[in-house]
Homo-oligomer: A and B are copies of this chain.
Amino acid sequence: MATVLLPLAEGFEEVEAVGLIDVMRRGGIDVRIVYIDEKLDHGKVVTGANGIGVKADTSIENIVFDDFDMMVLPGGWDGTYALAEDKRILELLQAFKEKKVVGAMCAAPYVLKKAGVLGNVYTCYPGAKDEIDHPGYRDDRKVVIDGNVMTSQGPGTAVCFGLAIVERLVGKESMQAVKEGMLLDYC
């Protein structure tokens, strides 16, 4: 079973995180949601940019690198900056880029850039392009796949990004079944 690591930091974009998790789990992927801030006494609940609290499975301290096939980051600026300042996240991204798959959407390709793992072509939220400041930006596709680096545009493309991950890690048939079951004909 394919396994994906999805870190949440306060201020993450909710429909991006939940859209990704929902689609990936429906596609048969074991998604582990991890929080990064051990100081917060939040019962593992991480609050997003629009005040929606989502419960994480465990702390990033408890995960084992070898258990995972991919690491993917939802957007939201506050969450993105928090991830970009976390040394554990940056080191994990470098290890995932080296041996596995990394993904990020909306503002979060900024974290890939910070870790030095952003590829030659990528996409992101149009308004985040200047801050990411990296050559190879594409605005003509919802999802851009560049070797083992996958990126996507923003809230409206989260479910489509999830489908692209299911296709990559599980297969086209599973992706197609989830696409039809969730009425995602626009992806």
Is A18 engaged at the interface, CB distance under 8 Å to the other chain? yes
**Binary B-proximity of A1-16 (CB < 8 A = 1, otherwise 0):** 0000000000001110
Is B50 in contact with A52, judged by CB distance below 8 angstroms?
no
Number of A residues whose C-beta is below 8 Å from B? 33
Cβ–Cβ < 8 Å partners of A51 in chain B: 25
Closest to A18 in B: B18
A53-B55, A156-B183, A183-B157 are known contacts. Are A18 and B25 too (CB-CB below 8 A)? no
Is A108 engaged at the interface, CB distance under 8 Å to the other chain? no
Is A182 engaged at the interface, CB distance under 8 Å to the other chain? yes
Closest to A186 in B: B186
- Complex alpha-carbon distance, A159 and B3, angstroms: 27
A residues lining the B interface (CB < 8 Å): 13-15, 18-19, 21-23, 25-26, 33, 43, 45, 47, 50-55, 125, 153-157, 159, 181-186
Q: What are 27 pairs between A and B in contact, CB < 8 Å?
A: A13-B22, A15-B23, A15-B159, A18-B19, A18-B52, A22-B52, A22-B155, A25-B50, A33-B52, A43-B43, A43-B45, A45-B55, A47-B55, A52-B54, A52-B55, A53-B55, A55-B55, A125-B183, A153-B183, A154-B183, A155-B159, A155-B184, A156-B182, A156-B183, A156-B186, A157-B183, A186-B186
Instruction: In the A-B complex, list the 9 residue pairs whose CB atoms are closest, starting with the nearest.
Output: A53-B55, A156-B183, A186-B186, A155-B182, A18-B18, A15-B22, A25-B50, A156-B184, A154-B183
